[in-house]
Homo-oligomer: A and B are copies of this chain.
Amino acid sequence: MASPQQRIEDTLQTALAGAEAGGAPPRLAAALRHAVFPGGARVRPQLALAVAAACGDDAPALADAAAAAIELMHCASLVHDDLPCFDDAPLRRGRPSVHAAHGERLAVLAGDALIVLAFEVLARAAGNGRAAARLPALLAVLAARVGAPLGIVAGQAWECEDWVALPDYQRAKTGSLFAAATEMGALAAGAPARDWRAFGEWLGEAYQVADDIRDVAADPAWLGKPVGRDQHLGRPNVVAEMGMAGALEHFEQLVQRSADAVPAGRGAAPLKALLRAEAARLLPPALVAAQRGAPLRAAA
């Protein structure tokens, strides 16, 4: 079987080819492709496939669809979050953001089309038998983790309120799509979503804390986008709240909780290895080097 990376890229390519098919407005098609390729680390879909593998992966096409659906939602959220009315971000992944390259109107529409495409990819993979029986639960989780009241759209909407509790904001904005990844990876392989939710939620919170740390401390060239955006935008940032040492300590704790939440079983060891690799990748190299005197605890 192809590597997880290859499975993810192949499924995304097939999905995009469908959206660009005959009759698509050419500029919309270009904006969609810009939003999805080349990708970032594809963390969420890799997580989904890793959980599916830990659960036996008995319907791999459905797991691929679940992974791709989550990544398409993530891409949609980046396109809309980068819009002038939100972050007004000129760069993403080291090149112009979708609205900078294709205009604001096509960025709005590309985000909309990617949300629709995510559900479409999942529905197409349903087919018959075990895949069809798992479809309603997969759809329900995807919708809950993306929409209102508690998904990533709601997380972004907390930026429009006068007051927000930082954990609620981070749980919705970042944690929810990581929870979707672990839950949908399990569901696609016929396992209960409930057992895998905490693992994804803790990892999502860790990821958001790392994002806040990078926003304060990273080299923009390494990061591929400007730093200091949270402060510039008056947005909650855990480093501003806890200080850098506190934020690093908090990050370590969250990674450890995530590792502890992996259900016991044959698949636990490779998942914890993936988690360790991911945690190491998340922090700026210069910051990690500066911490050598007080090294980060191993994740698991």
Contacts and interface: CB of A to CB of B under 8 A. Distances in A.
Given A85-B108, A135-B135, A23 B150 contact: yes
A276 B203 CA distance: 57
A24 B108 contact: no
A116 B25 contact: no
A22 interface: yes
Interface in A109-162: 109, 111-113, 115-117, 119-120, 122-124, 126-127, 132-133, 135-136, 139-140, 143-144, 146-151, 153-154, 156-161
A103 interface: yes
Determine which residue in A76, A103, A113 has the highest number of CB atoms from chain B within 10 A of its CB, and name it.
A113
Nearest to A120: B143
Interface string A16-27: 001111111111
B109 A153 contact: yes
A131 to B, nearest CB: 9
Interface residues of A, number: 61
A86 B105 contact: yes
Most B C-beta atoms less than 10 A away, residue of A26, A103, A136? A136
A106 to B, nearest CB: 5
Contacts of A115: 112, 115-116
Given A109-B157, A111-B112, A19 B148 contact: yes
A104 interface: yes
B140 A123 contact: yes
Quick one: copies of this chain in the complex?
A: 2
Contacts of A126: 135-136
Nearest to A104: B85
A32 interface: yes
Contacts of A148: 19-20, 24-25, 28-29, 32, 113, 116-117
Interface of A: 18-29, 32, 76, 80, 83, 85-86, 103-106, 108-109, 111-113, 115-117, 119-120, 122-124, 126-127, 132-133, 135-136, 139-140, 143-144, 146-151, 153-154, 156-161, 164, 168
11 contacts: A23-B149, A24-B149, A25-B148, A29-B149, A85-B105, A106-B157, A111-B112, A113-B148, A116-B143, A119-B143, A132-B133
